[in-house]
Structure 1
Amino acid sequence: MRRSSDRRPEIADESAWWRDAVFYQIYVRSFADSNGDGVGDLDGIRSRLGYLELLGVDALWLTPFYTSPMADHGYDVADPRDVDPLFGDLAAFDRLVEEAHQHNLRITVDLVPNHSSDRHEWFQAALQSPPGSPERDRYIFRDGRGIDGSQPPNNWTSVFGGPAWTRVPDGQWYLHLFAPEQPDLNWDNPEVPADLARTLRFWLDRGVDGFRIDVAHGMAKPFGLPDMDLRVDRGPGVLHDNALDPRFDNDGVHEYHRMIRKVIDTYPGRMAVGEIWVKDDERFARYVRPDELHLGFNFRLVEAEFDAEAVRAAIEHSLAAVRPLGTPPTWTLSNHDVVRHVTRYGGGDLGARRARAMALVELALPGVVYLYNGEELGLPNVELPEWALQDPTWLRSGHTDRGRDGCRVPLPWEGAAPPYGFSQSASTWLPQPNEWGPLTAERQLEDPDSMLSLYRQALELRKTHPAIGGDELEWYGAPPGCLAFRRKGGGLICALNTSAGSVPLPPGRVLLASGPMDGDQLPPDTAAWLV
């Protein structure tokens, strides 16, 4: 294990390395399998570090690999300070951190502070203890409503569908904003933040460079747990409106983020980014104040349709939310909770063209970019057979919402048929499509016109070209259905055409284009960088 005092000084001293970094999200189950059980693992990631260095990213974000019964594929954590045997062990994690740093890749890991697994020793103790006990106070237990207490304490619903309350044999109810196997922790109990601080230090001492905080707008609960407005739309992909929904974005959460920041600040050069599904720009900005999180995921670009006006509005909102604080904006097009953007933009060749265009828009923007594993290969969502679906949303919705498994299918590395080098086993935890042969990393590395080659070129230019600099944008006038902006300080111009016809390019020399040009015209569903 490497302690903070003996980490490489060039990492420890670069306190703002993250301000313009490109992070690569690894959904650990689906990246690379080293032991042939059909599930990705830590040694599998280590075996592909050369690919990630070649791609040109700066840092990795690993989804949870902690001890878990896997009711929500690791986001139900039974022990936050150990590795689940499915993914390896602590020695495998230490090897991964050490080798990643040798490849000039930083490692950030998921943190899940809103809830634990129902198999966590604390929750098991709570079930075995009476109402009002110190063991129960670590979670949110309440008596039910009605004469016999048979009704839930309030009308809150779970993000995964169904009620947010489950009754235990002695008659009390416990709160779970997600699956029943994920009971919400009581952050008013001082044991809870103290335990999270211990977890932070445990991983920081092992050399991690930062954290992604799951449900960072959760944790704090309003006094009295008032009913929610049932008009609230549920589910991932919906920006949160605190005016209608008391379950999230309560003001007390900021005290907890200040605590997290205090711990991280004792380790030079480390950072934290929050998952913040908050609609209002001013409320979003509170999470990235100087004594809170270093970065906040802003999901407006995820939610924007492939439409120049919608994309520009998403960019302007994201910049405006952080500009007064001097915090870099973050940009992302996909993650493990949303439909992959090739599919969102229309699927097939059309979706791929639009995805290529949006990749150039995203990578031309100032700030921090988060890529989701497989997007650089142009992977679409997969329409999986019902027998394969595992997301708790599928079960909790009564088989009406297919959940998020379609964006989590294991990556294709090489070969012409499943498992495409992902595993030695033909049986992977989610089945891979037979038609993914042309999308493998091996095939695309050899094709200069592939999606992977486009990403590699764009990432290299983003890192090295002097025109890609400065923290502000200047918007150009553009035809209907188009947008164009210039990076102040560097001068790079990015133009996007979402209209149905070709349009004149802005002045300049084309540095990189997402697809073939139409002479000096920018074709539909295409973006270009100009200098």
Structure 2
Amino acid sequence: MTPVHAPFPTDEWWRTAVIYQIYPRSFADGNGDGIGDLPGITARLDHLAALGVDAVWLSPFYRSPQRDAGYDVADYRDVDPLFGTLADADALIARAHELGMRVVVDLVPNHTSSEHAWFRAALAAAPGSPERARYLFRDGRGEHGELPPNNWTSVFGGQAWTRVQEPSGQPGQWYLHLFDSSQPDLDWSNPEVRAELEDVLRFWLRRGVDGFRVDVAHGLVKADGLPDWAGHVAMVDGTDAGAPEDGSTPATESGPMFDQDGVHEIYRSWRAVLDEFDADGERRSRALVAEAWVEPLTRLARYVRDDEMQQAFNFSFLTSHWDAAAYRAVITASLEALDAVGAPATWVLSNHDVVRHASRFGLAVPGARPNGVFATDPQPDEALGLRRARAATLFMLALPGSAYLYQGEELGLPEHTTLPDDVREDPAYFRTQHAEAGRDGCRVPLPWAAGEPAFGFSPTGSSWLPQPAQWSTYAADAQTGVAGSTLELYREALRLRRERALGGNGLAWLDGHDADVVSFRSVATDGRDVVVLANLGSAPASLPTGAEVLLASADLPDDGMLPADVTVWLSA
């Protein structure tokens, strides 16, 4: 038995919390327009309380033209009418708190919408003006400025620069957008930008939110001079690790637009803002969570040093393939890197940007992460994907630290892999000239009731993206109270996780098992250890003799063996 991680105090809620991501437009529709909204979420919070989560994280609901599903913010201090009102946001926060759940909201500080008042003012102003200094406007290269200022490309495809027409009517400067052209990047060297976003933090803290998930947290600061770079700009790379065929730098290597040292000064100032709002003397009751696609893990750990953020998403775990050695390596590296700075690990398998893990694990290369799946692509094995997804989730929920769940995974939802192309909305689909399917497949509205129109998502039966017909079997009401259903597996797993304090336990690897088995002991401070075995191979593996089964991701035979693609929790 090899100790890797010692137990830590759990008086700070975010160290061990199970946090549930809500994608507002697809969770529940309260007004019948086919798009989810804040009242719809509030009406369904009882489902999450019964599930047993500690907090909810809301993807953007701010005023926005919705060119990138709300990640193009036009007003950080208002709710888009599509989702409701500020009063609806207040009611949601209050109801969640009544049910014992914290509320984390998305913050998008790398860029605004091109319809933000600041950017409209920048377009109307002259080059060199204070209005343009809030963004990254630059003169073009070439004899007449006809070439972009550098060779950077957009994460969504195409070049990362757009040329504007000046008020005079002549072609003029270019502005940087690491994502869509409707999402101009802010210039974080400008004190006015820093002051504005700190005030936005305070606005939502006063309304009672418990933390912020920070979008593109590693992208705010760019290298001086915005130098050319031969690398490939990406957030979730759809290729296997290794050099791209064109010889450019792998996407896992941060270029001059990502992971610059200057971001850490920003987050130290944000941490000071959060510390102003300690509730009733409760130290560090608010949390910052970094969405930072940063490798190696020792670089990621810099975001969660004691005076910066509290959590950072562990994408190295999310992008691991279905392989025992790979999981053991990434878990060990994660715990070692984060323990070194006193921060908790976070674990996540799905979110709004990646193919759902119930489908990823059913691909020919299980765990591969394509940028969406077209109907004409090889299709995942739905049954195998779900079996592995259940095993992966049970394994993840026993790890020390905090766990994130993406809406619908508690139902076992697969990706919608046969979406008609004419309903797609993801800008990545359009900016890549339809080469990437994009993220719409993981954003399809949830099925709540098997026998209702739109499976109960909307009272009118409307749904902004079509739902697969077979989702009736995944509906929440079809699984509630059904022994062995994925929903009941999640409920029991979260109950046991809390009862056994698994998130705050230590971890020690167990040796002597088959190479395809990941096995560890969750070391409890009260002596009630839990042994976890996950069989990622193709053949059954031996279980310890006489051990009490607490929970398994699938039915276990009576022969004392652990079937392939199954995880079990045992009382030590």
Aligned length: 517
Query: What letter corresponds to residue 525 of structure 1 in structure 2?
Result: D
In the other structure, the counterpart of 1:23 is 19
Would you say 1:307 and 2:347 are equivalent positions? no
* Cα shift at 1:427: 2.8
1:121-270 alignment, distance < 5 Å: 121-170=117-166, 171-230=172-231, 232=232, 234-237=234-237, 243=253, 245-268=255-278, 269-270=285-286
- Give the one of 516, 527, 533 matched to 1:495: 533
In the other structure, the counterpart of 1:71 is 67
1:356-435 alignment, distance < 5 Å: 356-383=390-417, 384-416=419-451, 418-435=453-470
- Give the one of 548, 551, 557 matched to 1:509: 548
In the other structure, the counterpart of 1:6 is none
Q: Secondary structure at the match of 1:419?
A: helix
* Cα shift at 1:326: 1.5
**Cα distance change on mapping 1:529 and 1:242 into 2, 3 Å:** closer
Provide, for residues 114-149 of structure 1, a one-character-per-residue CA deviation record: whole Å limited to 9, x for no partner. 000000000000000000000000000000111111
**Cα distance change on mapping 1:426 and 1:388 into 2, 3 Å:** same
Provide, for residues 21-75 of structure 1, a one-character-per-residue CA deviation record: whole Å limited to 9, x for no partner. 0000000000000000000000001001111100000000000000000000000
Would the aligned equivalents of 2:447 and 2:471 in 1 still touch at CA under 8 Å?
A: yes
* Cα shift at 1:474: 3.0
Would the aligned equivalents of 1:153 and 1:173 in 2 still touch at CA under 8 Å?
A: yes
Would the aligned equivalents of 2:139 and 2:174 in 1 still touch at CA under 8 Å?
A: yes
Q: Distance in 2 between matches of 1:48 and 1:195?
A: 33
Query: What letter corresponds to residue 320 of structure 1 in structure 2?
Result: E
Q: Secondary structure at the match of 2:338?
A: helix
Provide, for residues 252-288 of structure 1, a one-character-per-residue CA deviation record: whole Å limited to 9, x for no partner. 1111111111101111111111101001122111100
Q: Distance in 2 between matches of 1:377 and 1:466?
A: 24
In the other structure, the counterpart of 1:110 is 106
* Cα shift at 1:247: 1.4
* Cα shift at 1:412: 0.1
Would you say 1:81 and 2:81 are equivalent positions? no
Q: Distance in 1 between matches of 2:151 and 2:501?
A: 55
In the other structure, the counterpart of 1:9 is none
**Percent of aligned pairs with the same amino acid:** 54
Would the aligned equivalents of 1:241 and 1:280 in 2 still touch at CA under 8 Å?
A: no
Stretch of structure 1 that moved more, 307-316 or 232-241: 232-241
Provide, for residues 409-459 of structure 1, a one-character-per-residue CA deviation record: whole Å limited to 9, x for no partner. 000000236401100233311111111111000011131110000000000
Q: Distance in 1 between matches of 2:389 and 2:221?
A: 37
- Give the one of 438, 459, 483 matched to 1:448: 483
Query: What letter corresponds to residue 369 of structure 1 in structure 2?
Result: A
In the other structure, the counterpart of 2:383 is 349
Query: What letter corresponds to residue 50 of structure 1 in structure 2?
Result: D
User: Which protein, 1 or 2, shows the higher relative CO under an 8 Å CA cutoff with sep ≥ 6?
Assistant: 2
* Cα shift at 1:352: 0.6
Q: Secondary structure at the match of 1:123?
A: helix
Would the aligned equivalents of 1:476 and 1:486 in 2 still touch at CA under 8 Å?
A: no
Q: Distance in 2 between matches of 1:107 and 1:282?
A: 28
Q: Distance in 2 between matches of 1:148 and 1:196?
A: 36
**Cα distance change on mapping 1:178 and 1:15 into 2, 3 Å:** farther
Query: What letter corresponds to residue 458 of structure 2 in structure 1?
Result: S
Provide, for residues 70-109 of structure 1, a one-character-per-residue CA deviation record: whole Å limited to 9, x for no partner. 0000000000010000000000011111111111111110
**Cα distance change on mapping 1:244 and 1:370 into 2, 3 Å:** closer
* Cα shift at 1:511: 0.8
Q: Distance in 2 between matches of 1:236 and 1:159?
A: 9
- Give the one of 274, 297, 305 matched to 2:290: 274
Q: Distance in 2 between matches of 1:303 and 1:506?
A: 30
Would the aligned equivalents of 1:242 and 1:249 in 2 still touch at CA under 8 Å?
A: no
**Cα distance change on mapping 1:428 and 1:288 into 2, 3 Å:** same
Stretch of structure 1 that moved more, 378-387 or 424-433: 424-433
In the other structure, the counterpart of 1:459 is 494
Would the aligned equivalents of 1:139 and 1:174 in 2 still touch at CA under 8 Å?
A: yes
In the other structure, the counterpart of 1:528 is 568
* Cα shift at 1:313: 1.8
Would the aligned equivalents of 2:450 and 2:473 in 1 still touch at CA under 8 Å?
A: no
Q: Secondary structure at the match of 1:168?
A: strand
Would the aligned equivalents of 2:402 and 2:503 in 1 still touch at CA under 8 Å?
A: no
TM norm structure 1? 0.95
Query: What letter corresponds to residue 253 of structure 1 in structure 2?
Result: V
Would the aligned equivalents of 1:281 and 1:320 in 2 still touch at CA under 8 Å?
A: no
Stretch of structure 1 that moved more, 276-285 or 130-139: 276-285
Q: Distance in 2 between matches of 1:335 and 1:244?
A: 22
Unaligned runs of 5+ in 1: 1-13
In the other structure, the counterpart of 1:3 is none
Query: What letter corresponds to residue 117 of structure 1 in structure 2?
Result: S
Would the aligned equivalents of 1:108 and 1:210 in 2 still touch at CA under 8 Å?
A: yes
Q: Secondary structure at the match of 1:260?
A: helix
Q: Secondary structure at the match of 1:173?
A: strand
Provide, for residues 342-361 of structure 1, a one-character-per-residue CA deviation record: whole Å limited to 9, x for no partner. 10000411011101100111
Unaligned runs of 5+ in 2: 1-9, 167-171, 242-249, 279-284, 363-380
Q: Distance in 1 between matches of 2:311 and 2:25?
A: 25
Q: Secondary structure at the match of 1:117?
A: coil
**Cα distance change on mapping 1:50 and 1:248 into 2, 3 Å:** same
In the other structure, the counterpart of 1:471 is 506
**Cα distance change on mapping 1:61 and 1:243 into 2, 3 Å:** closer
